[in-house]
Amino acid sequence: MDIHEKLQELFSLEGKVILVTGAAGGIFSEVSKGMAQVGGTMALCDFNKDGLGRVEDEINGFGGTAKSFEIDMTDLSSIAACVEAVVKEFGRIDVLVNGAGINKRVKLLYGDEETFDRIVAVNLKGVHFLSQAVAKRMKEKGGGSVINITSYNSVMMLGGCGVYGATKSGVAALTRAQAIEWAEFNIRSNAICPGHISTPLTEPLWTDPVRSKFLLDRIAMNRPGKPQDLLGIAILLASDASEYMSGMMYHVDGGCLAGGQPWDI
């Protein structure tokens, strides 16, 4: 038995074109690089051109294959143009990773319409219409895998994240709907639910002695997650190893939902 051959058969992403949104961000830049390292052809999509360029250069620099595409998740014409450009470049899309998302912490009594509309536009409306556009292309080519990103706040809640959590709960519902409606086209849809992940954007949270203790007390592993902690499940859901997995939400949270750190007894 050749172990490497079996692992490659199950988990290799060679020959798969993978569209990742939010690819310039702290989490999905790392996920994109990791998926490229196991053979994925990466279509990197974001509104941050400079950030995209850096990720593209790094992937191509270590021998992977990546190309950048601009996308505005609040603009349906931009979504359509991005999908068209990716298909024109690579011929198809095999995997969609809906990594783009935004949040602004605001209490429900005080949030304004503009903030509400923008969070919903990126996190829910944009995810729906991008998934729809990509799924039509997947249907033409015989199938594919959609990987949506939900959140701890889709099942539990932190103060100030109400609208964000509502959109991520909506993405969880969309995942189930996609799974049942698109199964006949050999399109699977699953969701990754990250716990508390440390990125440059969340660094102030982890350096705050009060807030960091609050979070760490709720994480059984007693550490924040790293972007690389999401890579294993992303590769699994993108690969042929998960061909009978659909409609589920997979938590990567260090034991947070399980109950956090135990009391001393």
Provide the annotated active-site residues. Answer: 164
d(CA 153, CA 168): 7
Nearest Cα to 168, choosing from 179, 159, 181, 155? Answer: 155
CA–CA dist 206, 47 (Å, integer): 27
- At residue 189, φ and ψ (nearest 5 deg) are -135, 125
Please tell me the distance from the alpha carbon of residue 224 to that of residue 26, in angstroms, as a whole number: 14
Say if CB 194 and CB 252 are below 8 A apart.
yes
